[in-house]
Amino acid sequence: MRHILSILLENEAGALSRVVGLFSQRNYNIETLTVAPTEDPSLSRLTLTTSGDDRAIEQMTKQLNKLIEVVKLVNLSEGEHIERDLMLIKVKASGAQRAEIKRCADIFRGQIVDVTSSIYTIQLVGASSKLDAFIEAVGDANILETVRTGVSGLARGEKVLAL
Amino acid sequence: MLSGADMLVRSLQDQGVEYIYGYPGGSALHIYDAVFRQEKVKHVLVRHEQAATHMADGYARATGKPGVVLVTSGPGATNTITGIATAYMDSIPMVIISGQVMSHLIGGDAFQETDMMGVSRPVVKHNLSIQDPADIPSVIKKAFYIATTGRPGPVVIDVPKDMTTPGEEYPYEYPAEVEIRSYNPPVRGHAGQIRKAVEMLLKAKRPMIYTGGGVVLGGASEQLIEMTRALGYPITQTLMGLGSYPGSDRQFIGMLGMHGTYEANMAMHHADAILAIGARFDDRVTNNIAKFCPDAMIAQIDIDPSSISKTVQVDIPIVGPVDSVLNEMIGLIKESDIQPDKENLSNWWAQIDEWAKHHGGRYLTNDKGLMKPQQVIQCLQKLTAGDVYVTTDVGQHQMFAAQYLSFEEPNRWITSGGLGTMGFGFPAAMGIQLSFPDETVVCVTGEGSIQMNIQELSTCMQYNIPVKILNINNQSLGMVRQWQDMNYESRHSNSYMESLPDFIKLAEAYGHVGMKIEKIEDLEPMMKKALAMKDKLVFIDVYVDPSEHVYPMQVPTASMRDMWLSKTERT
Ligand SMILES: Cc1ncc(C[n+]2csc(CCOP(=O)(O)OP(=O)(O)O)c2C)c(N)n1
Ligand SMILES: [Mg+2]
């Protein structure tokens, strides 16, 4: 099963490589990874998606917690949460296709952020599954390039991950 | 006001460091100069950096205090990796200070530059690099704090040369305390879980206590003895746990696992309740985990949450320091209305005694008159009776030593369990001997392993370190050969030790004493003589039967009770 782990990490040189190193050393996989400083400059927030059965995820979270620079960690998938991934996608848009692509982008609430006579660059925000659905709807043949930020997320309601 | 180098050495002094084991080089020269200009911390010059790490490790295992290593950048640093990994696998507190090229050169493939932070990362508890000389005291304090608290382990400090420049001085103060907001080792176990574990134990019909290195590291031997005696239950220990319960005690039924005793493995397999204390269900203990102890309810105490249910899913996890958890358990056992059922327990003991008779540590002496390695270990046991520090290398000799020696106290049996590092034993023994000059320190080794750090004979000459090297010379990489006999139709691919040196002459070349023992009748008198030479390093080279195997040996991929008992008998 897919899990979203959200981690508060000391914003120190080498801390990120420890997290990434742990995953390769222990043979866990990382599907997506995003990291950036938080409003408190001494902390980074890292969101990571991975998959595994309950025992594997439990080991992973314990091993992550053991890293000295990991301050706090939560498995967002264990509760109600909001997840967002941002994609920029460059698609062929000429002739009859052009209107079709535009309609498709509208349905998915995408924004066209760059235009040439034959190309649209569309920005899409949502859960990863929504972005996957858009890629499917547009069709591989029309896609020139995609880039995604990877998942970031927060728990719904009052729960917060803070010091 | 002190320079970075002087602050570093002052910090070690203020930390109470007695010895640094190390080897100098370009990036560490400012630090070495600071070492020279003081006397409080003694520096021991090894002949290879790997040996420095094992010396520090041996010191740490015997004294319970962190071992300290100082090396230069590049090759000096990379030479420590095996020793760091050895300490990491066995959770030994160590601080390794490695020189680094000047900070402005880092990343440019400078002379003797190695990314020590990157290279060491997978085998350390933590590593730190000095970014500003003013931080040196606090970084050192932090390193010792991390190395020695919670589940201990090695910590590397990488020191770029320009952090230690003479003449650039800073106000010095060694911090009294350190707080790391992201690191808070557990201080006590969960009361509810502890109660459950006690209840499980008291209601058990076929209980087992299974303990590991965590009891030694956690200094919980006293509590373990008190609880085990109060319960009257059988206890077995891992290779790393030996000594934390008296080996001669009636309730101790021997080591468990791959080369454990028949009765310990049988008892584990048939147990209905197991209390694991500071033990991590290593694959050398459990054999096939799918078949591990099918009827047992398991409670596990460990200070490291990630050790709990890592391989074997347990029923009652307890995260906490073993000493405090055991203290609480002892209290609850004393208060409890339920007490162990006497009849069940005596039936269980009768069964275990039956098993012990069935195999009970036997081996066949050789009719060709060749000495057996087991006889050599038994002779050592007879002559020292536990009043000794024993280190080992890795192989058959290590297993024979574990099986046939008996330790009455913790911290006296010193072996590389997790990593199984050949070359560990001799330098580890040196580290211990320096700190315990009046004690007998014996390194039980093989002619393969001893050659992995044989250069340290020179260090022993320089510092007059009178360890006793007991070389169980089977003229082969015995453990490899055993596996080849059992699994590869005796094709002895590269397991010979051809062209062995004359160890006697070699020892003598360094000013030590060498003794060769080939006949059983010489064994005891000569070993006695060697052990009596208190101020001499003696290399005791004992020729034994090369074809001997270590038994019992668990059958691969089977359960704990499936064992080879000799070359021809299987359970
Ligand atoms: C550094 C290292 N290399 C290889 C091994 C694999 N290994 C395990 S036991 C062994 C043989 C050891 O031979 P020896 O020291 O003579 O001991 P014996 O088994 O003969 O008693 C080897 C090669 C190891 N444990 N460590
Ligand atoms: Mg050998």
3 state SS for B57-72? HHHHHHHCCCEEEEEC
Query: Distance between CA B465 and CA B428 in Å, rounded?
Result: 12
Of B121, B146, B305, the CB nearest to A62: B305
Residues of A in contact with B306 (CB under 8 A): 59, 62-63, 65-66
Among B106, B132, B306, which would you mutate to test the A interface (most chain A Cβ atoms within 10 Å of its Cβ)?
B306
Which residue, by CA, sits nearest to atom 3 of ligand 1? Answer: B422
Residues near A91 by beta carbon (within 8 Å), at least 6 away in sequence: A101, A119, A120, A121, A122, A138, A142, A143, A144
Banded pLDDT at B361 (limits 50, 70, 90)? low
> At residue B257, does pLDDT exceed 70?
yes
pLDDT, residue B366, reads 73
Give the 3-state DSSP-derived string for B344-408, with helices as H, strands as E and coil as C: HHHHHHHHHHHHHHHCCCCCCCCCCCCCCHHHHHHHHHHHHCCCCEEEECCCHHHHHHHHHCCCC
Which amino acids of B are annotated catalytic? 49, 111-112, 161, 479
Phi-psi region of B500 (alpha: psi -120 to 50; beta: other; left: phi over 0): beta
Task: State the sign of the Cα–Cα–Cα–Cα dihedral B81, B82, B83, B84.
Answer: positive
Q: If we measure between CA atoms, which residue out of B72, B59, B14 comes closest to residue B38?
A: B14
Considering only alpha carbons, which residue of chain B is nearest residue A18? B121
What angle separates helix B81-89 from helix B49-63, to the nearest 10 degrees?
A: 20
pLDDT of residue A51: 95
Ligand 1 centroid, distance to B488 Cα (angstroms): 17
Nearest one of B417, B88, B441, B57 to B237, comparing CA atoms: B417
pLDDT in tens, B555-569: 999 999 999 999 998
Q: For chain A, how big is the Rg over CA atoms in Å?
A: 18
Cβ density class B542-569: b for 16+ within 10 Å, e for less: bbbbbbbbbbbbbbeeebbbbbbeeeee
Please determine, for residue B360, whether its predicted confidence score (pLDDT) is greater than 90.
Answer: no
pLDDT band at B362 (very low <50, low <70, confident <90, very high): confident
pLDDT score, position B498: 83
CA–CA separation, A150 vs B384, rounded Å?
Answer: 64
B482 Cα nearest atom in ligand 1: 19
Q: How far apart are CA B341 and CA B206, in angstroms?
A: 10
Q: Which two tokens stand for residue B30?
A: 């400012």
Gap between the Cα atoms of B544 and B505, Å rounded: 20
Determine which helix (DSSP H) or strand (DSSP E) holds B503, and give its type and residue range: helix B503-509
Contact residues of B toward A, CB < 8 A:
117-118, 121-122, 125-127, 129, 131, 146, 180-183, 304-306, 309-310, 313
Question: What is the average per-residue pLDDT within B245-274?
Answer: 97
Collapsed DSSP state (helix, strand, coil) of residue A81:
strand
Q: Cβ–Cβ of A68/B182 closer than 8 Å?
A: yes
List, for residues B69-101, the tens digit of each pLDDT value: 999 999 999 999 999 999 999 999 999 999 999
Residue B472 Cα: closest atom of ligand 1: 21
Q: Can you give the C-alpha Rg of chain B in angstroms?
A: 24
**CB atoms near residue A24 (< 10 Å):** 11
Helix axes B191-203, B322-335, angle to 10 degrees: 60
Query: Which residue in A129, A147, A130 sits closest to A91, CA to CA?
Result: A147
DSSP codes joined into one string, B175-211:
-S----TT-----S--HHHHHHHHHHHHH-SSEEEEE
Binary contact (B118, A55; C-beta < 8 A): no
B495, B484 Cβ separation under 8 angstroms = yes
Residue A113's CB is within 10 A of a number of other CB atoms, namely 10
Enter the DSSP assignment of A69: T
Q: Please, are residues B101 and B158 in contact by the beta-carbon 8 Å criterion? A: no
Disruptive mutation site among B182, B184, B304, B313 for chain A (greatest number of A CBs within 10 Å): B182
A70's enclosing H/E stretch is: strand A70-75
Nearest atom (ligand 1) to Cα of B373: 21
Cα→Cα distances B263→B224, B331, B413, B516, Å: 21, 30, 22, 36
Three-state SS annotation for B3-64: EHHHHHHHHHHHCCCCEEEEECCHHHHHHHHHHHCCCCCEEEECCCHHHHHHHHHHHHHHHC
Of all residues in chain A, the one with the smallest CA distance to B312 is A55
The phi, psi pair for B23, rounded to 5°, reads -155, 130
Asked whether the bond before B552 is cis by omega within 30 degrees of 0, the reply is yes
pTM for the full model?
0.97
Task: Compute, in angstroms, the gap from residue B447 CA to the centroid of ligand 2.
Answer: 5
Question: What pLDDT is stored for residue B359 in this prediction?
Answer: 76
Residues with CB under 6 A from ligand 1: B 393-397, 420-423, 446-449, 472, 474, 476-480
Q: Which one of B121, B309, B313 has the shortest CB-CB distance to A18? A: B121
Average pLDDT, chain B: 97
Identify the bridge partners of residue B201 per DSSP, sorted by sequence position. none
CB-based contacts of B31: which residues, under 8 Å, 6+ apart?
B5, B8, B9, B70, B97, B99, B159, B164
| pLDDT tens digits, one per residue of B507-565 | 999 999 999 999 999 999 999 999 999 999 999 999 999 999 999 999 999 999 999 99
Show pLDDT as tens, one digit a residue, over chain A (163 residues): 899 999 999 999 899 999 999 999 999 999 999 999 999 999 999 999 999 999 999 999 999 999 999 999 999 999 999 999 999 999 999 998 999 999 999 999 999 999 999 999 999 999 999 999 999 999 999 999 999 999 999 999 999 999 8
B44-69 pLDDT, tens digit per residue, is 999 999 999 999 999 999 999 999 99
Q: Are B169 and B30 in contact (CB under 8 A)?
A: no
| Count of pairs with CB atoms under 8 A, one residue in A, one in B | 36
* Rounded mean pLDDT, B127-134: 98
For the four alpha carbons of B530, B531, B535 and B537, in that order, the dihedral sign comes to positive
- 3 state SS of B318: strand
B67 and B94 Cβ atoms separated by less than 8 Å: yes
Is residue B358's pLDDT more than 90? no
Strands B297-302 and B2-3: unpaired
What's the average model confidence in pLDDT over B319-332? 98
Look at B121 and A17 and tell me if their CB atoms are within 8 Å.
yes
What is the complex's ipTM, to 2 decimals?
0.93
Q: Give CA separation, B555 vs A71, B85, B236, B268, B571, in Å.
A: 44, 28, 20, 15, 9
Residues of A in contact with B158 (CB under 8 A): none
Supply the residue whose CA is at minimum distance from atom 20 of ligand 1.
B478
Report the alpha-carbon distance of residue B268 to residue B245 in Å, rounded: 17
User: pLDDT value at position B324?
Assistant: 98
Ligand found nearest the CA of B418: 1
Report in angstroms the alpha-carbon separations of A107 from A95, A120, B19.
Answer: 20, 15, 71
Best to test chain B binding among A24, A64, A66, A70 (most B CBs inside 10 Å)? A66
Interface list for A 31-90 with B (CB within 8 A) = 55, 58-59, 62-63, 65-66, 68-71
Q: Which two tokens stand for residue B68?
A: 């300290």
State the Cα–Cα distance between residues B356 and B344, nearest whole angstrom.
18
| Distance (Å, whole) CA B368 – CA B101 | 60
Judging contacts by C-beta atoms under 8 Å, the chain B residues touching residue A65 are 305-306
Mean pLDDT on B237-261? 97
Type and span of the H or E element at A32 = strand A32-37
Q: How many CA atoms lie within 13 A of B54 on its CB side?
A: 30
Residue B368 has a pLDDT of 74
Contact A17 B181 (CB under 8 A): no
B396 alpha carbon, closest ligand: 1
Q: B480 alpha carbon to ligand 1 midpoint, in Å?
A: 7
Q: Nearest by CB to A14, from B117, B309, B310: name it.
A: B117
Nearest CA in chain B to A11: B182
